[in-house]
Amino acid sequence: MERTLLLVDDEENILRALTRVLRRDGYQILRANGGAEGLALLARHPEVGVILSDQRMPNMTGIDFLSQVRERHSDTVRMILSGYTDLKTVTDAINEGAVYKFLTKPWEDELLRANVEEAFRYGELARENERLTRELQASNEQLERRVEEKTRQVRLNQQVLAISQEVLEHLPAGVLGIDDDGIVVLANQQAHTLLGHDAQNLVGQTADTLLPPTICALFQHAASPADAHDILLHNISIDVHCGRMGQDTQSQGIIVVLTKRQNDGKSDGK
> Any idea what the CATH number is for the domain that residue 203 is in?
3.30.450.20
Are the C-beta atoms of 256 and 188 separated by less than 8 Å?
Answer: no
In a domain, 78, yes or no: yes
- Tell me the CATH number at 48: 3.40.50.2300
pTM above 0.75, yes or no: no
Nearest to 52 by CA among 90, 94, 104, 8: 8
Are 32 and 109 in the same domain?
Answer: yes
Q: Is 103 part of a structural domain of the chain?
A: yes
* 3-state SS record for 57-70: CCCCCHHHHHHHHH
Shared domain for 176 and 124, answered yes or no, is: no
- What does the pLDDT profile of the chain (270 residues) look like in tens digits? 789 999 999 999 999 999 999 999 999 999 999 999 999 999 999 999 999 999 889 999 998 999 999 999 989 999 999 876 667 777 777 777 788 988 988 999 999 999 999 999 999 999 999 999 999 999 999 999 999 999 999 999 999 989 988 999 899 999 999 988 889 999 999 999 888 877 678 899 998 888 888 888 887 765 678 888 888 887 889 999 988 877 666 668 889 999 988 764 444 443
Q: The domain containing residue 181 runs over which residues? A: 171-260
Q: Cβ(84)–Cβ(71) under 8 Å?
A: no
Cross-strand partners of 54: 81
